[in-house]
Structure 1
Amino acid sequence: MDYLGKHISGQFDAELAHIRTQMMVMGGLVEKQLNDAISTLLNHDINLAEQVIENDQQVNKLEVTIDEACVKIIAKRQPTASDLRLIMAIIKAIAELERIGDSAKDICEIAKQEFTPEQQILLTSLDAMGHNVIQMLHDVLDAFTRMNINEALRIYKEDKRIVKNYEMVIRQLMTFMMEDSRSIPNIIIALNCARSILRISSRCQNISELIFYFVKGQDFRHVGDDVIDELLAQ
């Protein structure tokens, strides 16, 4: 079903389309930032890490630009119903994307630290978890573009698999710590990185909830999975 209909005003359509396009540009940049950040974990590519950190300013500027455009269209067009929900969903989604960009920057700060060859297994586990989250981000951006509620639900539930990845990484870190107490400083660094990756998964879940909100016109925040399944089935 096409939830993104046309309006009598062609100019209004053009303005909405421009905002949606800008959000996808921001989403593409954040996705690249995250992909590069995860890449720095295994490769210890300091130059790439520094580039990601520097490019975070572009993400921040896009958030401000899109947010201002949304405020202007609300003031000028006074949209109602689904149009207003779409604009509010975009405003909230770009805030989530900006925070994902911050997490990518944090990962790069962590990746710049020195790890011994023996400790590379820590980074390998984080790399696997990170690539699962990259796919989750890619999929939720695609679902948002099409306002595909079924795909959004699948992605929302994907968070459970990421949590299992996180728990597995934590067990590995604890084992490593018990075997070699000298590794504790790097264990703490790796733990912070795992938490950053886990937070990105939660951000993707939040964007899924915005798709539910736009399509169903209901707020799905802070409700259980069973409630979400029931509401989406209506």
Structure 2
Amino acid sequence: MQHQGILVRGSAGPLVAVCRVSPLYTSLLPPKADLIPAPHLTTLQLPLPWETFGFPSQWLGRSVHLVTGDPAWDWSDVAPAFGIPATEDTDTTLEEPTHVQGWAVDHIVLLVPALDEAVAVFAEIGLDPRLRMQVRDRPAAFFRAGPLVEVVESPVRNPAIYGVTLVCDEPLEGVALRWRSMGLNISTVHSAIQPGRRIFTVHDTEAGLAVLSPDRAL
């Protein structure tokens, strides 16, 4: 998502969401920690082995509790009705997360069969899209729910969390080198669409994962 972020795989190769810088870009910027909107995402569970990447098994990235397990999420209030389970409906036991300085969730990717229906679902909990656009000829919308939620219309039967893009304060080249030394399959670090930002993608994972440099304009 080169607004930037996570790769959405397809039979024709990876689909990269493209959100070019526009006058609406400022509406997509992450909120200050004390201005997190309600309702907002509080917990994100994905089949990503966080300890493999050097994180605690359960950790806090700014305002989101990250957990390993089958895809699930928790919200501060009522969750949008996409049929995605809450963490309490899975086998995971939530523990007090370890706060990891310098790392946060930039955005998550939600795949849906019909974008207009997804927009209506978010409207039911009081969230309106900050931006609507085409992502590789697929309709997409962006919602601010603490981190950004990128919603992409895709050939899926049911809504599904595809993956997450993290943002970190460390130089990305150093992170990529460290993770490669741990045996992880990492792409090259390359420029993001946003001026001054860089990104890399982690391959061979059960959920999409990318890491983005911070927006120094914030």
1 or 2, which has the higher strand percentage?
Answer: 2
**TM above 0.5:** no
Q: TM-score, normalised by structure 1?
A: 0.26
Q: TM-score, normalised by structure 2?
A: 0.28
